[in-house]
């Protein structure tokens, strides 16, 4: 089966909230030697964003959005498993604390970022979602983290990423502990404005930027 067909099936499975179908598509993609991260980002993620657009136009409602998110969680779990198999022998390069900021429960993208960064020999401590900025910094300090990564999916929660920078500044940790920000409404310009050390548009770029920060 061609990659295009698999990607189309992936998009449809999320849009129709068909969990079993989605898992089957992902397993077939892996069996056929396709890159699961590519299938996730060019297939399933496109599907969930389309559901989000329909939601913002009032054409689907919150329960469907939540069901589609559950489908994403199931396929992301398969990708995570695959990633950990391929990355288990990587040398340890650093410690990263990662979280979705306070007020925000969107954690699918952050989960994908965590799965991929882990494969590079980076210890990723995922604090979950809706995590206050001071908790993120305190945990990073406690664990001696090299990098703090934060994800924000709502325009109303992006300000929490700025708060992280402010706390680091107040504690004299700015520059010593590096920061990377991401999430759909976040931009390179916003990252620069708040003083973050790096911005990544997607998980693949996230890996590149994190490795560059550690180097």
- Starting at the edge strand found earlier in the chain, the sheet holding 122-126 runs 122-126, 94-100, 147-151, 178-182, 198-199
Among 32, 49, 61, 208, binds ligand B1M (CB under 6 A): 49
Residues 121 and 92: beta-carbon distance below 8 Å:
yes
For residue 186 the two structure tokens come to: 């976040």
Name the region of 117 (left: φ>0; alpha: ψ -120 to 50; beta: rest): alpha
The residue within the footprint of ligand B1M, chosen from 13, 48, 164, 168 (CB under 6 A), is 48
Residue 112 engages ligand B1M in binding (rule: CB under 6 A): yes
Q: Contact region for ligand B1M (CB under 6 A) — 82-90, 166-174, 187-195, 196-204?
A: 196-204
Please tell me whether residue 166 adopts helix, strand or coil conformation: helix
115 touches ligand B1M (CB under 6 A) = no
Nearest to 43 by CA among 76, 71, 6, 15: 6
For ligand B1M, the closer CB: 1 or 193: 193
Check residue 110 for interaction with ligand B1M (CB under 6 A): yes
> Is 119 a binder of ligand B1M (CB under 6 A)?
no
The percent of the chain in helix, strand and coil, each rounded to the nearest 5, is 60, 15, 30
Range in contact with ligand B1M (rule: CB under 6 A) among 18-26, 81-89, 150-158, 188-196: 150-158
Q: Which residues bind ligand B1M (CB under 6 A)?
A: 41, 45, 48-49, 51-53, 55-56, 62, 65-66, 69, 72, 98, 103-110, 112-113, 149-151, 153-156, 180, 182-185, 200, 202-203, 206
């Amino acid at each position: 089966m061609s990659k295009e067909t698999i990607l189309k099936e992936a998009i449809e499975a999320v849009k129709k909230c068909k969990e079993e179908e989605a898992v089957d598509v992902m397993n077939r993609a892996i069996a056929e030697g396709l890159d699961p991260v590519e299938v996730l980002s060019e297939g399933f993620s496109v599907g969930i964003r389309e559901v989000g657009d329909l939601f913002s136009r009032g054409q689907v409602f919150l329960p469907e959005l939540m069901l589609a998110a559950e489908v994403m969680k199931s396929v992301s779990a398969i990708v995570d498993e695959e990633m950990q198999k391929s990355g288990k022998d990587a040398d340890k390069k650093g410690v990263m604390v990662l979280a979705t900021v306070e007020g925000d429960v969107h954690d699918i993208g952050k989960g994908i970022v965590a799965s991929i960064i882990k494969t590079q020999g980076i210890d990723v401590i995922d604090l979950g979602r809706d995590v206050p900025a001071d908790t993120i910094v305190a945990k990073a300090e406690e664990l001696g983290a090299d990098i703090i990564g934060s994800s924000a999916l709502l325009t109303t929660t992006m300000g929490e990423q700025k708060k992280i920078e402010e706390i680091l500044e107040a504690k004299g940790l700015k520059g010593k502990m590096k920061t990377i920000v991401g999430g759909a409404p976040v931009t390179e310009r916003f990252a620069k404005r708040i003083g973050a050390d790096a911005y990544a548009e997607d998980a693949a770029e996230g890996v590149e930027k994190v490795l560059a920060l550690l180097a």
